[in-house]
Chain A
Amino acid sequence: QVRLQESGPGLVKPSQTLFLTCTVSNASISSPNYYWSWVRQPAGKGLEWIGLIYSSGNTIYNPSLRSRVTISVDTSTNQVSLRLKSVTAADTAVYYCARENHSGWRFDSWGQGTLVTVSS
């Protein structure tokens, strides 16, 4: 059973860079069968897709966040990372990593999520 675990600081100051990692267990992030995505959810609101990364390292980002986002992978640690620069209070949310399985084009596995608050 694949497991995704997000980790990172729970508090980030405005204008700084948010950095999160997602550690994947029981599945290889190098597999061509999956994409790896970051999704966020402000309190009481819907899900917002941030972006994804292929096994090749290619990325696709939400156009509304593209100028501030970088998603990368570290195959040596089987981790997917998210960097979001110049954060504001509007970036306060629970951040999830999720696996997209090409067998059915489905997001079949999600981490438990990590709350990031942007505040001074």
Chain B
Amino acid sequence: SYGLTQPPSVSVSPGQTANITCSGDNLEDEYVSWFQQRAGQSPLLLIFQDTKRPSGIPERFSASMSGNTAILTISGTLTLDDGDYHCQAWDKNNYVMFGGGTKLTVL
């Protein structure tokens, strides 16, 4: 089982905005990261510390917090954004938690 809850799938049309949620107990007290994982590839860090983008990540990827729910927003979605998206946080015992992953389909 996963400590964080994500929807299994999200669909979006190219050019539209996709929102992927991640919920967990006391998530507002922890830093959340988001990863993109294309088919057959390793996870790629998209967002850390709730809202920060590493260098090289396009501005169309952004994130926010609403209470105990983290939200990844992909604006102007491209077909190459198709893949799995994972949220991650640390719990109070320094354990690492992942969400179950959300499959984003761009069609």
> What is A's interface to B at a CB cutoff of 8 Å?
37, 39, 45-49, 52, 60, 62-63, 96, 98, 104-108, 110-113
Q: Contact check, B48 vs A104: say whether CB atoms are below 8 A apart.
A: yes
10 example contacts (A-B, Cβ-Cβ < 8 A) are as follows A46-B100, A47-B98, A47-B101, A49-B97, A49-B98, A62-B95, A62-B96, A96-B42, A106-B49, A107-B88
B38 close to A (CB within 8 Å)? no
Q: Contact check, B100 vs A110: say whether CB atoms are below 8 A apart.
A: no
Count class of interface residues, chain B = 20 to 34
What residues of chain A lie closer than 8 Å to B54, measured between beta carbons?
106, 108
Q: Chain A interface mostly helix, strand, loop or mixed? A: strand
Closest residue of chain A to B42, judged by CB? A110
What residues of chain B lie closer than 8 Å to A62, measured between beta carbons?
95-96
- Interchain CB contact (< 8 A) of B43 among A45, A47, A52, A104: A47
Q: Contact check, A52 vs B48: say whether CB atoms are below 8 A apart.
A: no
**What is the CA–CA distance of A47 and B43 in the complex, to the nearest angstrom?**
9
Closest residue of chain A to B1, judged by CB? A64
What is the distance, in angstroms, from B15's C-beta to the closest C-beta of chain A?
A: 28
Within 8 A of A (CB), among B88-107: 88, 90, 93-101
